[in-house]
Chain A
Amino acid sequence: MIHLNKTRRVGRRDLAQVVEIDARITGLRKPGYWAGILRRYGGNSPGRFFLVCVEKRQVQGYVVGEVRDWEFGSPPSGWVFGIGVRPESRLRGTGTRLLEEICAAFRRRRVAKVRTLLARDNALVLAFFRSQGMTAAPFIALERDL
């Protein structure tokens, strides 16, 4: 696949476009949330990554994750908790490229697994992660009413 776009760490100027992409996907505009994510995951924080894929100065997609220590005896792993691609830019390898870049960053931090957690009914993103070779992890997500 030919990549005409570039993946790099997010900058303050990219944030409005990230908010727009997320809002188009989820239907919720969350500028405050993304400003917080930029503060914590932007810049060069060790083990934290907020990357964007840019083509012709337009952000096509983003991915956010970190190297996370795990309880219950598991070694640290890469954790992806946000990924989004402009609907009109899908099926062009943008998501694949973003995931590859963040996985490469995790490998440089010497972790051997990447994990994520998402809703069972999020078929689109579930199918994307599956297409990237991700399979069920040996964990079960649990919850209860409070």
Chain B
Amino acid sequence: MKLQKNTQLALCGVLEFASEPERQFSTAEIAAKYGASPHHLAKVLGKLRRAGLVSAARGAGGGYRFCGNAKRVTLLEVIALFETIGAKAPRAPRRDLERAVDQVLAEIDQTARATFGSITLETMLKLALRSARRSS
């Protein structure tokens, strides 16, 4: 499955912040790391700030820092700020085959939601660490 660009950027950003909660990150630093425009990233970070996941400090040396609970916040909570997994089809299926296809798609969506909902930011950071160790 694929997430929208904004959602992926939000996930990577919030994980960066959560990996060093005492540190303040500049928008430019995160934007350069993930190849996003600072303007685009600022919009994403604005949503994360309104959701109480990051706090912003203005002025020289300002930036963003994580202010959520990495042990509690799940990937699903971050994703849900930007998109809906398993958004309902615009109209009710009229044919049996359409209904059958929708049933399979709903199964996939439920599994995806359960997977994202079971992984906290802290678990994700551990996973990234293990993956980095394996590849080094």
The reply to whether A133 and B126 form a contact with Cβ atoms under 8 Å apart is yes
What B residues does A121 contact at CB under 8 A? 114
Q: Which of B118, B119, B120 has the most CB of A within 10 A?
A: B118
Interface flags for A79-123 (1: CB within 8 Å of B; 0: not) read 000000000000100000000000000000000000000001101
Q: Which of B115, B122, B123 has the most CB of A within 10 A?
A: B123
A44 at the interface (CB under 8 A from B): no
The reply to whether B110 and A120 form a contact with Cβ atoms under 8 Å apart is yes
The reply to whether A123 and B130 form a contact with Cβ atoms under 8 Å apart is no
Interface members, chain B 84-133 (any A CB < 8 Å): 110-111, 114-115, 117-120, 122-123, 126-127, 130
CB distance from A126 to the nearest CB of B (A): 4
Q: State how many residues of chain A have any CB contact under 8 Å with chain B.
A: 11
A131 and B119 CA atoms in complex are apart in Å by 7
What B residues does A133 contact at CB under 8 A? 126-127, 130
Residues in B lying within 8 Å of A, measured CB to CB: 71, 74, 110-111, 114-115, 117-120, 122-123, 126-127, 130
Q: Are A131 and B117 also in contact (CB < 8 A) when A120-B110, A120-B111 are?
A: no
A121 and B76 CA atoms in complex are apart in Å by 13
A129 and B123 CA atoms in complex are apart in Å by 10
CB distance from A118 to the nearest CB of B (A): 10
The reply to whether B117 and A136 form a contact with Cβ atoms under 8 Å apart is no
Q: Give the contacting residue for B123; candidates A91, A127, A136; CB below 8 A.
A: A127
The reply to whether B126 and A127 form a contact with Cβ atoms under 8 Å apart is no
What A residues does B119 contact at CB under 8 A? 127, 130
What B residues does A120 contact at CB under 8 A? 110-111, 114
